[in-house]
Amino acid sequence: MGIELQSHQTKAATGEDPSHSGGGQLLMDSPEPPTLWQELVRFIRTSVFSKKSSKKDKNSNPVLFCLKSIFPILTWGRHYKLNMFKKDVMAGLTLASLSIPQSIGYANLAKLDPEYGLYTSVVPPLIYATMGSSREIAIGPVAVVSLLLSSMIQNLQDPVADPLAYRNLVFTVTLFAGTFQAIFGLFRLGFLVDFLSHAALVGFMAGAAIVIGLQQLKGLLGLSHFTDKTDIVSVLGSVFHSLHHPWHPLNFVIGCSFLIFILLARFIGKRKKKLFWIPAIAPLISVILATLIVFLTKADKRGVKIVKHIKRGINRSSVSQLHLTGPNLGHLVKIGLISAVIALTEAIAVGRSFASIKGYHLDGNKEMMAMGFMNIAGSLTSCYVATGSFSRTAVNFSAGCETTMSNIVMAITVIAALELMTRLLYYTPTAILASIILSALPGLVDVSGAHHIWKLDKLDFLVCLSAFLGVLFASVEIGLLVAVIISFAKILLSSIRPGVEALGRLPRTDVFCNINQYPMASKTPGIFTVRVSSPMLCFANANFIRDRILNAIGDEDEHEGDTKKESVRVVVLDMSWVMSVDTSGLIAIEQIQKGLISKSIQLVIANPRWRVLHKLKQTKFEERTQKQSIFFTVGEAVDSYVRPTSTSHDIC
């Protein structure tokens, strides 16, 4: 080791650059990175066409291979067995018992007639069963999306004044939502869903749950006059104002009685996992019993509000009802985009959580494609935006489902209900629908999750709180907008004010690390090593990084002068974290180099990435210095500029 160090220091003392004969030369001779056009072509090729295919798949019929990638049912259907079918039938029937009353309630929340909630539990689940990659997820209407649609679309069309026009706008929004979801999946743009962070989603869900719960007071109390706004101030004000008008306590008695029954059934199901079917069928039992009570006692004539007529028959075509022109088209596209992101976020979160329990991987892009096509088909068959429901998926999972066949069984059961049960549901009280929705809301309020976010990241908690308060006191879209803006502000703040770390070498190693994090790391006399902790050196942060580096060098010189040590003569800039650099970044590097040359200080760059190195060569960075100034590693750069402090005899 002593001989190697002697040889290395002798070369450094005589002005030879050892890296030129090894790593440094290889670095400078590296080929040019792909052009922007080549990157675009590769992105389209890998995004549109499947990248993963086994040798067996390649040798098979390409049409069949393509169909299997689009329709996973063609793959798992070949190995489907009778015992799996038995489990899926039981899960599907259990799922339908929960889905039927929930679908009617969520349609009411979306300000649509009850049958449209049932329609949404027919076509979308059937489409998803053939295209989806999740085995457990249960498809249908959900509370948050229903609230989102009603709160945003009613600003364009009053659902009471013209319910037909309102319904047509809902179908149009569903078409746009499905189109966006399909595009996200086709071009692998799933990262767009991640713009709504986990913290924002926790706050949004909690705020939406409280707003939904307050809005159910209309059905629970049997109120006739109620606000169309979703903020807590307007809702509570409407409740207090409505109490001065005549209202019928029987609605409240029926709703609260069955709410207690449903919550008690859920408590029993949680205590004993084998009794999962009790909370699953509790809502349907509640609807049947409440309907019988109202029918037998003629309670509808005593002020109890009922559902009344539900159209008999399966989904009807809604192609002619879509509004693809007109002054509201831009607003409908915006609502469709927001609905698509919210629906995808909830569905993928639910699907991945249960997939991890079963130990298989959920293909996010296939999920987006499946969600997109099922909502496009739904918009043409009188459905509104459908997605994966956490409560129904949990029931499906607990019931022992094996495949998406449970969704098919559920959809067939709902079709039977549409054909046979619509007349029986005439006397169903709206209070029972309100109690069913209220019973599903506690699962949307994740208090422990919010507390965990608070402990981990205070800025993330601010995002969570902003989404919560925005939904609660403004509107659903305002809450989402505030949360996304704060999330972006957090990203921008870290991007335009990145860290600039002084590095030192760990004893007896060639590892350089932050001297503040690792106090045992030592500086090399005369050499100041600094790292830019940012993936980009661009117009947004170039001047900030330049000033931080120059100021740090000035402070280092003052410190060395006070301790009577060797002043800085070489600055090693570690660029290992910088993935790309633009014109402003290159100008900043040039300004740093000129500023250091004026002080007789050499600027050296270590470990530049491919694109950064290419642009440095284009600007002829190394030609402006007499010695080599670009190295593979920080250790190589430091060793190349270390001054020998002893003779060869002393080293040996």
The torsion angle over the Cα atoms of residues 301, 307, 310 and 315, rounded to 10 degrees, is 180
What integer pLDDT is reported at residue 565 of this predicted model? 66
What integer pLDDT is reported at residue 44 of this predicted model? 66
Under DSSP, is residue 306 helix (H, G, I), strand (E, B) or coil? strand
Nearest partner of 130 among 208, 217, 54, 69, judged by Cα: 69
User: Of 296-305, 353-362, 634-643, which has the strongest mean pLDDT?
Assistant: 296-305
Section 386-399 average pLDDT:
91
The proportion of the chain whose per-residue pLDDT surpasses 90, expressed as a percent, equals 53
Cα(219)–Cα(235) distance, integer angstroms: 13
| HSE-CB of 415 using CA atoms within 13 angstroms | 15
Count the neighbouring beta carbons within 10 Å of the beta carbon of residue 298: 10
Matching residue, tokens 């706004």: 229
Alpha helices per DSSP H over 243-382: 249-271, 277-297, 329-358, 364-379
Output the average pLDDT for the chain. 86
Cα(76)–Cα(62) distance, integer angstroms: 18
Give the pTM.
Answer: 0.78
The torsion angle over the Cα atoms of residues 154, 157, 159 and 160, rounded to 10 degrees, is 120
- Dump pLDDT digits (tens) for 484-525: 888 888 888 888 888 899 999 999 898 999 999 999 999 998
User: pLDDT confidence of 561, banded at 50, 70, 90?
Assistant: low
**Contact (Cβ atoms closer than 8 angstroms) between residue 397 and residue 354:** yes
Count the neighbouring beta carbons within 10 Å of the beta carbon of residue 84: 16
What integer pLDDT is reported at residue 43 of this predicted model? 67
What integer pLDDT is reported at residue 48 of this predicted model? 53
Residue 11 pLDDT greater than 60, yes or no: no
Section 101-106 average pLDDT:
94
**Residue with more model confidence, 44 or 204:** 204
Section 270-283 average pLDDT:
90
Matching residue, tokens 């027919």: 122
What integer pLDDT is reported at residue 650 of this predicted model? 38
Q: Classify the phi-psi angles of 509: left when phi > 0, otherwise alpha if psi is within -120 to 50, otherwise beta.
A: beta
What one-character DSSP code corresponds to residue 429?
B
What integer pLDDT is reported at residue 10 of this predicted model? 43
Residue 479 pLDDT greater than 90, yes or no: no
- Dump pLDDT digits (tens) for 157-181: 999 899 999 999 999 999 999 999 9
- Dump pLDDT digits (tens) for 577-586: 999 999 999 9
- Dump pLDDT digits (tens) for 69-88: 889 998 898 889 999 999 99
Count the neighbouring beta carbons within 10 Å of the beta carbon of residue 134: 28
What integer pLDDT is reported at residue 35 of this predicted model? 77
**Residue with more model confidence, 476 or 387:** 387
What integer pLDDT is reported at residue 326 of this predicted model? 87
- How far does CA 442 lie from the centroid of its chain? 22
**Contact (Cβ atoms closer than 8 angstroms) between residue 203 and residue 464:** yes
**Contact (Cβ atoms closer than 8 angstroms) between residue 118 and residue 315:** no
What integer pLDDT is reported at residue 9 of this predicted model? 43
User: pLDDT confidence of 455, banded at 50, 70, 90?
Assistant: very high
What integer pLDDT is reported at residue 85 of this predicted model? 95
What integer pLDDT is reported at residue 49 of this predicted model? 52
User: pLDDT confidence of 184, banded at 50, 70, 90?
Assistant: very high
What integer pLDDT is reported at residue 4 of this predicted model? 42
- Give 603's strand partners: 571
- Which domains does the chain possess? 83-491 (no CATH), 498-651 (3.30.750.24)
Which structure tokens are listed for 458?
């205070």
Residue 591 pLDDT greater than 90, yes or no: yes
Supply the angle between the helices 198-215 and 143-153 in degrees, to the nearest 10: 70
Section 550-567 average pLDDT:
75
Section 555-577 average pLDDT:
80
What integer pLDDT is reported at residue 583 of this predicted model? 94
The proportion of the chain whose per-residue pLDDT surpasses 70, expressed as a percent, equals 90
**Contact (Cβ atoms closer than 8 angstroms) between residue 335 and residue 385:** no
**Residue with more model confidence, 175 or 240:** 175
